[in-house]
Chains A and B, each alone.
Chain A
Amino acid sequence: MVQELVSLNSLLAGQSARVGKIVGRADHVHRLEEFGIRGGTKVQMFQPGNPCIVRLAGSKFCLRADDLLRVFVRPS
């Protein structure tokens, strides 16, 4: 079953998801991708909120979502 895309911010603590789509200016999106957050990567919410803390592979990073940059994910 194909899950619907939801905003990364709506994940609950401990919930995992795969990145579906990143919306924002090309260079901002590029930076996020260089960081390792790109379509298909598995992420796990660590601390919800804004900014939130997300786990990605062996590392954690924090990210503030605003109108300029939004990450949409498919919860798994």
Chain B
Amino acid sequence: MPPASEQAAWNVALIGNPNTGKSTLFGAMVGVHQRVGNYPGVTVEKKTGEYTFEDGRYELVDLPGLYSLAPRSRDEMVAVDLLIPRRADAAPVDAVVCVVDASNLQRHLYLVSQILELGLPTVVALNMLDVAGDHGITLDATRLEQRLGVPVVPLQANRRIGIEPLRTALASIVGQASRAPESPFPEAFQREVTQVESELADRPVSESENRPLPRYLVERLLLDVNGYLQGVLLGEDDRESAQRVAQSRARLQEAKLEIPGVETASRYGWAEQILEGVVTQPREYRRTTSDRIDRVLTHRFWGMLLFALVMVVLFQAVFSWAEPLMGLIEDGMGMAGRWVESGMQPGPLRSLLVDGVIAGVGGVLVFLPQILILFLFIAVLEDCGYMARAAFLMDRVMVRVGLSGKSFIPMLSSFACAIPGIMAARVIENERDRLTTIMVAPLMTCSARLPVYSMLIAAFIVPNHTFVFGLLSLQGLVLTSLYVLGIVTAVVAALVLKKTILRSEPTPFLMELPSYKWPSARTVCFRVLQRGWVFLRCAGTMILAISIVVWAALYYPHDSETVEPPFRQRQEAVETRLEALSADDPAGAELKAELVRIENEMAGAYQRQSVLGKMGQWIEPVVRPLGWDWRIGCAVLASFPAREVVVATTGVIFNLGEDFDSEAEEDGKLMRARLRAATREGTDRPLFTTPVALSLLVFCALCAQCAATLVVIRRETNSWRWPAFTFSYMTTLAYLGAMATYQLGTWIAGL
């Protein structure tokens, strides 16, 4: 059936094993016309793109890389749902392009065999012929096409060879009637599938859809023994259907058709027949460049050393290259703030724009350079194939905390921001390993913690203390210890979680190591920009909203009737004395300073009676064991939605009144001076002693102060239970850690 109108496009699914150059092919087919969205109801990324060819419009969907069309996780279920829609509103696929790697054709035909069984119009894209040539493999594409009965298009996606023939082949098959499905299974097995199919015929495929389960899904129900698909398709309650599936499996077992072994035996048997005389394998595989590189990079000693070097360069780049850019953004924000300030009358709106919107959005924008640089590194390492080696090297370490090497990439990303880190955990098949990784990822020192750290360290740790011939400074040492604290806590938390609530059998660690290649500038740029944009949108909107809420909580009720009268009296008294003096009287300056003091005290009084101020005073007894007063409590409380807010709120709370904003370039130093000068209310003892500063630092290092992260955890785990758990355990740890630091610190100081 052709598309109903000129507007409608042919839906084409692009499927293949990981590392077959599928995404490169996708890019070559659709160019820049790509979008990233989500599949309905799930958060799996859906990459789609469009192109026109000979008056037909084609919409291409890039499915996640799969070794098999046997759903074990949400990612894989998405692919199956797209090819065999269960929902009535899902548009059926008009054609499938299956990308295969010519250098390992037998394994790739396994997936082809599953796709051919669906009976959809299919093209096989034979990629990486050059790699196969390097290995000494030769193959006959024409013969392969005859044997498979579907078009086979040889191509080299990375050099854009074969794209036009692939489009032509697609144009020739879309709109064709479905092919007769072919099954590689023995007849006895097929009969059993037919029987179960009829037994389950009265069972609708979903609540809204009154049609029976498609045959392929019935077959999968019999073959997939891990229970994931059964849970998705039949639910927990349908005992009767589950019983039927179990009985059928028992019958198959009796007939010597091993479940699930019959599938691999049948499909590989079929693949061997197809490839007989099509492919010639060399007697010995030639050594490729990749092999020579791997000799070093996966070496037990040299590999680890180079890995450490890569990590050092990566972090160095994130922190030092980003510096000038971050300075530029900060300057720009400062200018915007002053511009608004100079052009508007003082009042709630100006305060909202300057303290709420510009300070809030600026707070996020400042991290963008660091995040983009980290993503650039990750994208390059992923695209050239090094990430798989890093996961291999790290597996030896990760297995000790009960996780596998696959948890490494999410953890690494979390050093920039926990949000992409948590999303990267999707590659972990073991659900409990994935959950553990998600739970501990927010403990990694993300870039939002840096401003908090640098503010407090700069203010309270003596800068000119150096060790080892000036190579190490006390400030640097404290910063490093905070990073180490995050990592160590994450390791311990992972160990505890894996031993208690997330105990599971380890999943076999099995991962392909793709051949090395030069990273493609297109792919890398696209990935960096796309992830940067996701970060900006997700964190930006959230933080903007929070900044406004925090600003409002510190500003309102702003009741001048109750706050101002006592100050007004003093103000008037000073003003009268000032007027009585002649203009050049030296006492005038003293009186003017007195006026500023009163002004500040008034601002302080406003804060104390603001919503947030009241809350701060209310929680003071709770934070006293940490060495904090109500103002620190307030700043921390306000930064629960987003930790970088702590810098802004501390500034506001410690009376950096509006008068000081005009001296923006001096802001940093002024803030430090203000913090050092802060005293406990009613006394002249300094508030921030070293133990208090350290206790605040430890709290910030361990606490789950990021609403965006919690929301992403909710999305990724589909339940509020896990974000609630993450929040409680991290906050408890932070509280206990800060208390221990303060108490221990005071004890040591008292010795």
Q: Given A53-B513, A62-B513, decide whether A44 and B508 contact each other with a Cβ distance below 8 A.
A: no
Number of interface residues of B (CB under 8 A): 48
* Other-chain contact of A60, B260, B264, B513 (Cβ < 8 Å): B513
* Complex interface: chain B residues within 8 A of A63 (CB): 508-510
The 10 closest A-B pairs by CB, nearest first: A58-B103, A36-B107, A33-B264, A64-B509, A27-B226, A69-B508, A60-B513, A34-B68, A30-B260, A58-B104
Q: Given A26-B225, A59-B104, decide whether A53 and B298 contact each other with a Cβ distance below 8 A.
A: yes
Q: List 9 A-B contacts (CB under 8 A).
A: A24-B508, A29-B261, A30-B260, A31-B508, A35-B107, A35-B512, A58-B104, A62-B513, A64-B508
The docked-state distance in angstroms from the alpha carbon of A34 to that of B508 is: 14
Complex contact A34–B70 (CB within 8 A): yes
Complex contact B260–A26 (CB within 8 A): yes
CB of A32 within 8 A of chain B?
yes
CB of B720 within 8 A of chain A?
no
B103 CB to closest chain A CB (Å) equals: 3
Complex contact A47–B298 (CB within 8 A): yes
Complex contact A34–B264 (CB within 8 A): yes
CB of B237 within 8 A of chain A?
no
Provide the A19-54 mask, 1 if CB < 8 A to any CB of B, else 0: 000001111111111111010000010110111010
The docked-state distance in angstroms from the alpha carbon of A7 to that of B703 is: 46
Question: Binding site of B, secondary structure by majority: helix, strand, loop or mixed?
Answer: mixed
Complex contact A36–B104 (CB within 8 A): yes
CB of A1 within 8 A of chain B?
no
Complex contact B396–A51 (CB within 8 A): yes
CB of A2 within 8 A of chain B?
no
Complex contact A61–B510 (CB within 8 A): yes
CB of B399 within 8 A of chain A?
yes
* Other-chain contact of A62, B107, B299, B392, B399 (Cβ < 8 Å): B392
Interface core residue of A33, A57, A68 (most chain B CB under 10 Å): A57
A27 CB to closest chain B CB (Å) equals: 4
Interface core residue of B107, B294, B405, B514 (most chain A CB under 10 Å): B107
* Complex interface: chain B residues within 8 A of A68 (CB): 505-506, 508
The docked-state distance in angstroms from the alpha carbon of A45 to that of B613 is: 66
The docked-state distance in angstroms from the alpha carbon of A31 to that of B511 is: 11
* Complex interface: chain B residues within 8 A of A28 (CB): 507-508
* Complex interface: chain A residues within 8 A of B137 (CB): 58
Complex contact A53–B285 (CB within 8 A): no
Find the A residue at minimum CB distance from B131.
A58
CB of A4 within 8 A of chain B?
no
CB of B268 within 8 A of chain A?
yes
Find the A residue at minimum CB distance from B107.
A36
Q: Given A36-B104, A51-B392, decide whether A30 and B404 contact each other with a Cβ distance below 8 A.
A: no
Find the A residue at minimum CB distance from B70.
A34
A42 CB to closest chain B CB (Å) equals: 9
Provide the B590-624 mask, 1 if CB < 8 A to any CB of A, else 0: 00000000000000000000000000000000000
* Complex interface: chain B residues within 8 A of A47 (CB): 294, 298-299
Find the B residue at minimum CB distance from A49.
B300
The docked-state distance in angstroms from the alpha carbon of A74 to that of B642 is: 58
Complex contact A51–B395 (CB within 8 A): yes
Q: Given A34-B264, A47-B294, decide whether A61 and B508 contact each other with a Cβ distance below 8 A.
A: no
A13 CB to closest chain B CB (Å) equals: 9
* Other-chain contact of B291, A30, A35, A46, A57 (Cβ < 8 Å): A46
CB of B48 within 8 A of chain A?
no
Complex contact B513–A61 (CB within 8 A): yes
* Complex interface: chain B residues within 8 A of A64 (CB): 395, 399, 404, 508-510
CB of B132 within 8 A of chain A?
yes
Provide the B68-90 mask, 1 if CB < 8 A to any CB of A, else 0: 10100000000000000000000
Interface core residue of A28, A33, A68 (most chain B CB under 10 Å): A33
